Amino acid sequence: MRFRRHVTSRGDLTRWIRDLRARLPQTRTLPGGRVWWWLGGAAGAFVVGYVIAALLLFPAPIFASSTSVPRLVGLPQDRAEATVSDAGLTTGAVRVESHPTAARGSVMWQEPPAGVAVPQGFAVELWVSSGPSRIPVPDVSGYDATIAEQLLSAAGLRLGRTEATQAPAPKGVVINSRPPAGTALLPGTDVTLVISVGAPTISVPDLIGLTPETADSLLREAGLRLGTTVRRSTFRGAPGTIIEQQPAPGTLSAAGTAVNVTLARREDE
């Protein structure tokens, strides 16, 4: 028995291929020239978007060179500004604030900090010290000298020295201070206290013509004391005796007031 093999004709094959193409998804292609045009447009749009983002949204140098911010803390303001200029940068805002330890006129902070890379011409902000905050002198008049010294110390000031004066106030009471109360001073500044030695109720005795030893004894009996003695060549009085005194005889003085005297110089002195 013979079998006949069926052979598809060429016309049938052509129809089969055409039918297969009709069943496949349809795709559209662009001519070669238009493909490159679209690619170039997309690349241009990307570049433009990057530039806008870099300049407006996220400012950053693209082609400019950068430099490292120098250390400025601790430098005087004029020297710090010169250092900024030498580095190719500019000085931005300068703020002045008090600082307990930084010297007046010195840089106590900078922004950006030292070592940060920034573009040329970048503005560096400075914080400059105006020194410690000043302290007003407390009003210590009317207080005992010991309490007044404690008040000065509590305020951040120091007792420099004391001066005695005659005043209608109990002995040992502060009359006033120098500088006066309310004066603004730097922390640790010395303040002088003027202290009363009592009211002037004792009449100073006449010491003219007396020796220093006799005068000292007389003053002690009156509640006063002998102060400084100086010698001067003069034709008045016997050598070694008092020729002048201060306060003058009869002056009312407070207890403990010192009387200064001048002695006639001897021939052999």
**Does residue 125 lie in a domain region?**
yes
Q: Which two tokens stand for residue 171?
A: 């002995």
Provide the mean pLDDT of the chain. 84
**Does residue 163 lie in a domain region?**
yes
Residue 169: the pLDDT is 87
- How confident is residue 3, by pLDDT bands cut at 50, 70 and 90? very low
Q: Are residues 104 and 149 in the same domain?
A: no
Length of the chain: 269
- Look at residues 215, 227, 237, 236 and name the one whose alpha carbon lies nearest to residue 257: 227
Instruction: Report the domain count for the chain.
Output: 4
Taking only the tens place, the pLDDT of each residue in 116-171 is: 999 999 999 999 999 888 899 999 999 999 999 999 999 999 999 999 888 888 88
Pairing of strands 252-253, 202-203: antiparallel
**Does residue 20 lie in a domain region?**
no
Q: Are residues 102 and 140 in the same domain?
A: no
**Does residue 95 lie in a domain region?**
yes
DSSP string, 184-215: EE-TT-EEEEEEE-----EEPPP-TT--HHHH
- For 71, the domain range is 66-129
pTM of the predicted structure, to 2 decimals:
0.46
* CA atoms lying within 13 Å on the CB side of residue 103: 7
For residue 10, is pLDDT > 70? no
**Does residue 44 lie in a domain region?**
yes
Q: Which two tokens stand for residue 45?
A: 């749009």
Least confident span in 51-60, 83-92, 139-148, 225-234:
51-60
Q: Are residues 84 and 112 in the same domain?
A: yes
CATH code of residue 94? 3.30.10.20
Contact 158, 187 (CB under 8 A): no
Taking only the tens place, the pLDDT of each residue in 69-110 is: 999 999 999 999 999 999 999 999 999 998 888 889 999 999
Q: Are residues 114 and 70 in the same domain?
A: yes
Q: Are residues 97 and 120 in the same domain?
A: yes
